[in-house]
Every structure is written in C-alpha cells, then in structure tokens.
Amino acid sequence: MLARMGVSLSILASGSRGNSALVQSSSTRILVDAGISCKETFKRLKDTGDDPRSLSAIVITHEHADHVQGLRVLARKLNIPVYMTGATHRAWARTVRDAIGELPEVPRLEYFCSGHKFQVGDIEVMPFTIPHDAADPVGFTFRAEGIRIAIATDLGYMPPSVCDQLRGCDLLVLESNHDLEMLRLGAYPWSVKQRVMSRVGHLSNAALAQFFCNDYDGNASYIVLAHLSEHNNHPEVARGEAEKALGLRRTLLNNRVLLAAQERAVQPIRL
C-alpha cells in the first residue's frame, strides 16, 4: 500500500446493478455502500491502488440490493465497523433472512441517525435524509482535512433540505439517473416507469440540471454524475445536460463533470 496524502474519492461501481465508493483521508478509508460482491469489491479496490485490508469502516445509504448485496460477506471478511440506521439494518436483515434462512451477522454493527454526524477516524460523516422508497434512506457528506464531499443518489427529487447539505462541497457525487424521454419511450412496464419518476424514485437528468441552475452554489471542483440508468440514459446525454446547465451560469466553468460507471472503477479523484 502506497502512502497517500490528502483526501480522495473513488467510485468502484455506480448504477442499478451495484454501487460502491471509497472516501479516504490520509489516515481513514470509508467504503460507502457494498453493492457489488466482496470479490468484485476487492478486485476494483486493487484496480484503484487500494488495499481492501486497509478499510476503516463501511457506511450504508439504504437497503436496496444494489447498495448492500456484498455487505454480508464483506462485513464478515473484513471485521470492520458497519454503520447504518436501525431501520435500514432491520429491513436488510429481513431480506437476507428471507433469502438464506438466517439473519446476517455483522461483527461490528454501529447505528447512526439521519441528521446526526459521527466520526470515523479523522473523517466526519453527516447522514441526511433523502426522498426514496426505502426504510430510512440517506445521503452523506464527508469532511476531512478541510475538504467536503457529498454523495446523494437514489432520490426522487431535490428537497431544500438536501440542497442545503450540498452547499460548500469540493466534490459532489449526484444522481443523474434517466433521460425523461428515453424513460417514457423505453421498454419498462408502466408501473416501473411510474416508480422511477415518482417523488421517491430516481433523479432525472432534467431535475439535476434544474438543481444546477437554481440551487447549486458553484463551489465544487468536481461533479460526478452517478447511478445512470443503462436503459434510460446515455453517459453523453447526461453529461451534455449537466454541462449545459452549468454553462448557463457562466461563473461555473471551472466545475469539471465526470461520469461514474457500472462496469469499472473510476480512478481516484484527489482533492
């Protein structure tokens, strides 16, 4: 493991088939969600130059499979603290019990409450409530060494309370799930389309663009577009819409827009 200075973020996977990211300071490494298998998590950590054995903790946003499907094995294998809300833990444990006949064991389980910050090593973690159809879903901000990172995916819309959390960040990871036209015309059953578009579904490119135009403070050096739909979006469509919205605010030309990917890790963004 190479010694690394400063704060960085890697996206190991992003999308409806699995989500996981790594936030790290000089001394602390937090895995955000465990939505790909343990084996694949280890592989992608190696791809980004990180040692899985050096992880400090895992924090979980919500219990949907694309955020937790590797959690049971990862928690056992790494024996590091796993942070989630009580409601998320209960919902996840029930799903695992129904699938494998027994409750999952988490050797070092820690509960947090949305709106109450907690500390992992030298990283301050602030969970905040997001509108999504899970038991107790959250986004996070992370603060270390004077740097602030926010991750907010899986949200039906951007309420003012979420916009507040996204102020003053150096890096934003935000959902740009679908293009509305592609979703409307696409092959999903109507019930699924309605769920995705609902206030507790997923954020469209247009809704994110609206955030950039109306509520974004322009502070971030990097904006990562995440949780893109593979059927109802295209990376260049999402990027185009985000850059157009940012471009309308001429002071924001320094914001770099990057894309997270489902099939491969994005190399660490250093701040």
CB of 18 to Zn ion, least distance (A): 9
Q: Please, what is the minimum distance in Å from the beta carbon of residue 154 to Zn ion?
A: 4
Do the beta carbons of residue 196 and residue 189 sit within 8 Å?
no
According to CB under 5 A, which residues from 179 to 218 bind Zn ion?
none
Candidates 40-48, 101-109, 120-128, 146-154; binding stretch for Zn ion (CB under 5 A): 146-154
Quote the DSSP letter at residue 95.
Answer: H
Q: Which is nearer to Zn ion, 121 or 235 (CB)?
A: 235
The DSSP 8-state label assigned to residue 53 in this structure reads G
Taking the least distance from each CB to Zn ion, the nearer of 154 and 241 is 154
Distances (CA, A) of 172 to 74, 147, 200, 206, 215: 26, 11, 21, 17, 13
Question: Measured between alpha carbons, how far is 189 from 23 in angstroms, rounded to an integer?
Answer: 36
Stretch that binds Zn ion, among 45-53, 88-96, 101-109, 154-162 (CB under 5 A): 154-162
Least separation in angstroms between CB 139 and Zn ion: 11
> Which residues have a Cβ under 8 Å from the Cβ of 208 and sit 6 or more positions away?
158, 174, 175, 176, 225, 241, 242, 245
Report the residue number whose CB is nearest to Zn ion. 64
Q: Is 69 or 141 the residue whose CB approaches Zn ion more closely? A: 69
| Of residues 130 and 209, the one with the C-beta less far from Zn ion | 130
| 154 touches Zn ion (CB under 5 A) | yes
Pairing of strands 8-13, 266-270: antiparallel
Look at residues 229, 133, 139, 224 and name the one whose alpha carbon lies nearest to residue 181: 229
Q: Residue 69 CB, nearest distance to Zn ion (Å)?
A: 11
In this complex, which beta carbon is closest to Zn ion, that of residue 92 or of residue 252? 92
Pair 108, 81: CB distance under 8 Å: yes
CB of residue 177 to Zn ion, shortest distance in Å:
9
Amino acid at 59: V
Site string for Zn ion, 31-70 (x = CB under 5 A): ---------------------------------x-x----
How many Å apart are CA 17 and CA 33, to the nearest integer? 13
Least Å from the CB of residue 150 to Zn ion: 16
Between 13 and 257, whose beta carbon lies closer to Zn ion? 13
Interacting residues with Zn ion (CB under 5 A): 64, 66, 154
